[in-house]
């Protein structure tokens, strides 16, 4: 599946665009997506610890703008937003 990850806040440093396009296996979860983003950081930013911390502490929202848990199943190509903590909290 193709996921368009919309970047907000500090996560915008992950790309020169306001999104990333990632491929996931069918019926992946947000937890799988989080792992895939960390792999992207390892490959493109030499494992930048600050970027990894942002990914680990961020919330995610579905394409209908609902906050979703790590167990949320992604069942089709769609947009997912990553929402980093604001003000360090």
- List of residues 6+ apart from 69 with CB closer than 8 A: 30
pLDDT value for 24: 96
pLDDT value for 87: 67
User: Cα torsion for 88, 10, 62, 16, to the nearest 10°?
Assistant: -170
Q: Is the pLDDT of residue 14 over 90?
A: yes
* pLDDT tens digits, one per residue of 23-77: 999 999 999 999 999 999 999 999 999 999 999 999 999 999 999 999 999 989 9
Which residue ranges form the domains of the chain, and what is each CATH number?
2-83 (3.10.20.30)
pLDDT value for 86: 82
């Amino acid at each position: 599946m193709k996921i368009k990850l919309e970047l907000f806040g500090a996560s915008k440093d992950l790309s020169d665009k306001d999104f990333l396009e990632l491929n996931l296996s069918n019926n992946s979860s947000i937890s799988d997506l989080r792992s895939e983003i960390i792999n992207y950081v390892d490959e493109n930013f030499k494992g930048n610890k600050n970027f990894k911390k942002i990914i680990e502490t961020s919330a995610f929202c579905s394409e209908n703008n609902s906050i979703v848990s790590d167990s949320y199943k992604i069942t089709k190509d769609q947009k997912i937003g990553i929402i980093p903590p604001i003000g360090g909290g």
